[in-house]
Amino acid sequence: MPETLTPARRATLAALVDTFVAAVPHDGDDPHGFWATAGSALGADVAVEQYLTTRLPAEQLAGIVELLDAFTLTGLKNQPQHVREATVGVVSRIAPEAGVGVAAVRQLAINLAYAITDEQGRSPLLTGMGFPGVPDVADRLGRTLTVHETTPGEVVECDVVVVGSGSGGGVAAAELARAGRRVVVLEAGSYWSESEFGVTELAAYQQLCLKGGVFPTADGMVNVVAGGVVGGGSTVNWSNSVPLPDRLRERWASEFGLTDVAEDSWLEHARAVMDRLKVNDKVAYQNGPHTKLAQGADRLGWSYQTAALNIDPDRYVQHAAGFSGFGDATGAKQGTMRTYLQDASDAGAVLVPRARAVEVLVEDGAAAGVAVEILDDAGQVAHTVTISAPTVVVAAGSIETPALLLRSGIGGPAVGAGLKLHPAGLVSGLYGDEDLAPYDGPAQAGIMDQFGGTSTGGSAFLVEGVQQFPGLYASVTPWTSAAEHKELTSRYRSRADWVFIIEDLGGGRISIDDDGRSVATYPFDHEGDRRTFRNAVAACVRMHAASGADTIWVGGQPGTPWHRGEDVEEFVARLEELPLGAGGLVAFSAHQMGSAPLGTDPATSVADVRGELHDVRGVWIADASGMPTCSSVNPMITVMTLARRTAHHVLAG
Query: What does the alpha-carbon distance between residue 236 and residue 373 come to, in Å, rounded to a whole number?
Result: 24
The predicted-structure confidence for 295-319, as pLDDT tens digits, reads as follows: 999 999 999 999 999 999 999 999 9
Phi/psi at 10 (5° precision): -65, -40
Q: Are 459 and 633 in contact (CB under 8 A)?
A: no
Query: What does the alpha-carbon distance between residue 175 and residue 180 come to, in Å, rounded to a whole number?
Result: 9
Quote the Cα angle for 643-323-33, to 5°: 150
The predicted-structure confidence for 452-463, as pLDDT tens digits, reads as follows: 999 888 899 999
- Give me the amino acid identity at 29: D
The predicted-structure confidence for 134-147, as pLDDT tens digits, reads as follows: 888 888 889 999 99
Query: What does the alpha-carbon distance between residue 611 and residue 381 come to, in Å, rounded to a whole number?
Result: 31
pLDDT over 70, % of the chain = 100
pTM summary value: 0.96
The predicted-structure confidence for 206-230, as pLDDT tens digits, reads as follows: 899 999 988 999 998 999 999 999 9
Query: What does the alpha-carbon distance between residue 242 and residue 334 come to, in Å, rounded to a whole number?
Result: 14
The predicted-structure confidence for 16-58, as pLDDT tens digits, reads as follows: 999 999 999 999 899 999 999 999 999 999 999 999 998 888 8
What was the pLDDT predicted at 484? 97
- In terms of Cβ atoms closer than 10 Å to its own Cβ (0-12, 13-18, 19+), residue 177 is buried
433 or 195: which carries more pLDDT confidence? Answer: 433
CATH code for residues 277-309+424-503+525-586: 3.30.410
Residue-averaged pLDDT of the chain = 95
Quote the Cα angle for 17-20-26, to 5°: 120
Please, where in the chain does CATH 3.30.410 lie? 277-309+424-503+525-586
Three-state DSSP at 482 gives helix
- Give me the amino acid identity at 260: D
Count other C-beta atoms under 10 Å from residue 78's C-beta.
10
The predicted-structure confidence for 316-364, as pLDDT tens digits, reads as follows: 999 999 988 889 999 999 999 999 999 999 999 999 999 999 999 999 9
What was the pLDDT predicted at 1? 39
Half-sphere exposure of 133 (CA within 13 A, CB side): 17
Can you name the CATH fold of 155-217+226-239+242-246+261-273+324-413+608-652?
Answer: FAD/NAD(P)-binding domain (3.50.50)
Question: Which H or E run includes 59?
Answer: helix 58-73
Tell me the Cα Rg of the chain: 24
Q: Are strands 215-216 and 355-363 parallel, antiparallel or unpaired?
A: unpaired
Q: Are 444 and 240 in contact (CB under 8 A)?
A: yes
Please, where in the chain does CATH 3.50.50.60 lie? 155-217+226-239+242-246+261-273+324-413+608-652
Q: Are 73 and 79 in contact (CB under 8 A)?
A: no
Three-state DSSP at 359 gives strand
The predicted-structure confidence for 464-494, as pLDDT tens digits, reads as follows: 999 988 998 899 899 999 999 999 999 999 9
Pure H helices in 74-184: 81-92, 96-115, 124-129, 167-178
* pLDDT at residue 199 greater than cutoff 80: no
The residues, any chain, with a CB within 8 Å of residue 366's CB and separated by 6 or more, are: 390, 616, 617, 618
- In terms of Cβ atoms closer than 10 Å to its own Cβ (0-12, 13-18, 19+), residue 119 is exposed
What was the pLDDT predicted at 3? 67
- Which range among 118-122, 285-289, 620-624, 633-637 shows the weakest confidence by mean pLDDT? 118-122
Please, what's the b/e burial string for 481-517 (b: 16 or more CB within 10 A of its CB; e: otherwise)? bbeebbebbbbbbbbbbbbbbbbbbbbbbbbbeeeee
